[in-house]
Amino acid sequence: MSKYQENRLFIHNTLNRKKELFTPLTPPHVGIYVCGPTVYGDPHLGHARPAVTFDLLYRYLKHLGYKVRYVRNITDVGHLESDADEGEDKILKKARLEQLEPMEVVQHYSNRYHEAMAALNVLPPSIEPRASGHIIEQQVMAQQIIENGYAYESNGSVYFDVLKYNEQHRYGKLSGRVLEDMLSDARQLGRQDEKRNSVDFALWKRAEPSHIMRWASKWGEGFPGWHLECSAMSKKYLGEKFDIHGGGMDLLFPHHECEIAQSVAATGSDAARYWMHNNMVTINGQKMGKSLGNFITLEELFTGSHSLLEKSYSPMTIRFFMLQAHYGSTIDFSNEALGAAEKGLIRLMGALKALEKLEPEDTTGSFDVDAFERNGYKAMNDDLGSPVLIAHLFDAAKYINTTLSGNDMISAAQLEKLKSLFGVFIFDILGLQEFEDKDTADLTEKLVDLLLDIRLEVKKKKDFELSDRIRSELASFGIIVKDKKDGFEWELKK
RNA sequence: GGUCGCGUGGCCGAGUGGCUAGGCAGAGGUCUGCAAAACCUUGUACGGCGGUUCGAAUCCGCCCGUGACCUCCA
| DSSP line for A246-296 | EEEGGGIIIIIHHHHHHHHHHHS--EEEEEEEE--EEETTEE--GGGT---
**With a 7 Å cutoff on the CB, does A19 touch strand B?**
no
Q: How far is CA A428 from CA A5, A64, A345, A421, in A?
A: 19, 11, 16, 10
Long-range contacts of A145-151 (CB under 8 A, 24+ apart): A145/A203, A145/A262, A145/A265, A145/A266, A148/A265, A148/A266, A150/A261, A150/A265, A151/A203, A151/A265
Which pLDDT score is estimated for A189?
A: 45
- The residue lying closest to nucleotide B3, measuring its CA against C1', is A177
Which pLDDT score is estimated for A373?
A: 92
**Does the A23-278 domain belong in CATH 3.40.50.300?**
no
Q: What's the ipTM?
A: 0.87
Q: Which residue has the higher pLDDT, A224 or A493?
A: A224
Sign of the Cα torsion A117, A120, A122, A123 reads positive
Give A81's pLDDT tier (boundaries 50, 70, 90): very low
What is the rounded CA–CA span in Å between residue A378 and residue A302?
33
pLDDT in tens, A371-395: 999 989 989 998 898 999 999 999 9
Where helices occur in A78-221 by DSSP H, the ranges are 90-98, 102-119, 135-147, 162-168, 179-184
Domain ranges of chain A: 23-278, 283-429, 440-492
Kindly state the average pLDDT of the residues A239-247.
94
Rg (CA), chain A: 28
Identify how many contiguous H helices and E strands chain A contains and give both numbers: 17, 15
DSSP, res A215: B
What is the rounded CA–CA span in Å between residue A338 and residue A310?
10
**With a 7 Å cutoff on the CB, does A357 touch strand B?**
no
Reply yes or no on whether the pLDDT at A203 is more than 50: yes
Per CATH, which fold does A283-429 belong to? Isoleucyl-tRNA Synthetase; Domain 1 (1.10.730)
Reply yes or no on whether the pLDDT at A301 is more than 50: yes
- The per-residue b/e assignment along A46-74, b for 16 or more CB within 10 angstroms, e otherwise, is bbbbbbbbbbbbbbbbbbbebebbbbbbb
Count CB-CB contacts under 10 A for residue A24.
19
Give A428's pLDDT tier (boundaries 50, 70, 90): very high
What is the rounded CA–CA span in Å between residue A416 and residue A106?
48
**With a 7 Å cutoff on the CB, does A315 touch strand B?**
no
Which pLDDT score is estimated for A83?
A: 38
What is the rounded CA–CA span in Å between residue A20 and residue A17?
9
First to last CA, chain A: 48
**With a 7 Å cutoff on the CB, does A316 touch strand B?**
no
Nearest to A301 by CA among A338, A331, A336: A338
Which pLDDT score is estimated for A185?
A: 57
Which pLDDT score is estimated for A264?
A: 94
**With a 7 Å cutoff on the CB, does A395 touch strand B?**
yes
Between CA A350 and C1' B30 the distance (Å) reads: 21
Reply yes or no on whether the pLDDT at A12 is more than 90: no
- The residue lying closest to nucleotide B73, measuring its CA against C1', is A250
Reply yes or no on whether the pLDDT at A8 is more than 50: yes
Could you say which nucleotides of strand B lie within 7 A of any protein CB atom?
1-6, 11-16, 21-25, 37-40, 66-74
Q: Quote the mean pLDDT of chain A.
A: 86
Reply yes or no on whether the pLDDT at A85 is more than 50: no
CB A22 within 8 A of CB A30: no
